[in-house]
């Protein structure tokens, strides 16, 4: 059974950089793409990007230019960096495994951006 555990900074000021990490346990790391999805308060889900074990990335145009997703195959970890955050980036951020659909999810990390 694949389990995902994520962590990172929960409170940021505008213009700062969001940084989250997701560790993958119990599964074939190389068998999946690894995805970041966010959910703004009271709103729906938004795919923001993904990466495979080779480092091939796709990003949502809504965050392209500010986002970097990286992978550490030696630690089975995936990281998300989002620069120049604003209040619009306030959301619960989830990491998830992907094979066209999102089978396994992390517990979610609330990131709040406020001055």
Partner 1 sequence: QSVLTQPPSVSGAPGQRVTISCTGSTSNIGAGYDVHWYQQLPGTAPKLLIYLNTNRPPGVPDRFSGSKSGTSASLAISGLQAEDEGDYYCQSHDTSVSGEVFGGGTKLTVL
Q: Which residues bind partner 1 (CB under 8 A)?
A: 35, 44-47, 49-50, 58-61, 94, 98, 100-103, 105-108
Nearer to partner 1, 19 or 47 (CB): 47
Question: Measured between alpha carbons, how far is 15 from 69 in angstroms, rounded to an integer?
Answer: 19
Query: What is the closest distance, in whole angstroms, from the C-beta atom of residue 14 to partner 1 in the complex?
Result: 25
Cβ neighbors of 102 (< 8 A, separation 6 or more) are 35, 37, 96
Nearer to partner 1, 14 or 26 (CB): 26
Tokens of residue 64, six digits: 């392209």
C-alpha of 71 from chain center: 11
Query: What is the closest distance, in whole angstroms, from the C-beta atom of residue 106 to partner 1 in the complex?
Result: 7
Query: What is the closest distance, in whole angstroms, from the C-beta atom of residue 83 to partner 1 in the complex?
Result: 19
Tokens of residue 76, six digits: 């089975």
Query: What is the closest distance, in whole angstroms, from the C-beta atom of residue 52 to partner 1 in the complex?
Result: 13
Nearer to partner 1, 32 or 94 (CB): 94
SS3 content of the chain, % helix, strand, coil (to 5): 5, 55, 40
């Amino acid at each position: 059974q694949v389990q995902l555990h994520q962590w990172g900074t929960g409170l940021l000021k505008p213009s700062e950089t969001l940084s989250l990490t997701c560790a993958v346990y119990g599964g074939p790391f190389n068998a999946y793409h690894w995805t970041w999805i966010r959910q703004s308060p009271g709103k729906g889900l938004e795919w923001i990007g993904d990466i495979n074990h080779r480092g091939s990335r796709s990003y949502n145009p809504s965050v392209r230019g500010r986002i970097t997703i990286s992978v550490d195959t030696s630690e089975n970890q995936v990281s998300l960096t989002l620069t120049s955050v604003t209040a619009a980036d306030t959301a619960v951020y989830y990491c998830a495994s992907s094979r066209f659909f999102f089978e396994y999810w992390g517990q979610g990390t609330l990131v709040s951006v406020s001055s």
